[in-house]
Amino acid sequence: MVTGKRDDMNATERPEDALRRYAGILVRLGRLHRPYRVYQECGHAHADGEDRGGVIDCGDFVTCEEGFLYSACRECCTDAGGQTEACADGHRHQIGGSICPTAAILDETP
């Protein structure tokens, strides 16, 4: 059986070692699932020099903190091109909510 060796190892692992191992796993998960801030156009004329400070370049447009919509997850909701279509169309992100199901488990929120 392929899993036999692994099961035997876990059976002999001391509880404190297992806890330390789980803690390390959670830290790594948390590092992976970081917030990715999603903005819409704020409507200011930043490009024309009406600079209110904190201008954010989103590639297709520039915006600022007033255009902040919600935080998505870097790992789950973005690829090399930024926010994925699946996230933009299918996820229900909210300000103050967890960024993804994995983060919700880490945050211990429902």
Binding site for Zn ion (CB under 5 A): 33, 42, 44, 64, 72-73, 75-77, 87, 91, 100, 102
Which one, 16 or 85, has the nearer CB to Zn ion? 85
- For 25, the 3-state DSSP assignment is helix
Q: What's the min distance (Å) between Cβ of 1 and Zn ion?
A: 33
Q: What's the min distance (Å) between Cβ of 59 and Zn ion?
A: 16
For 96: left if phi > 0, alpha if psi spans -120 to 50, otherwise beta; the answer is left
Q: What's the min distance (Å) between Cβ of 47 and Zn ion?
A: 10
CA dist list (Å): 11 to 4, 6, 17, 53 = 11, 9, 12, 58
Q: How far is CA 90 from the centre of its chain?
A: 15
Which one, 18 or 86, has the nearer CB to Zn ion? 86
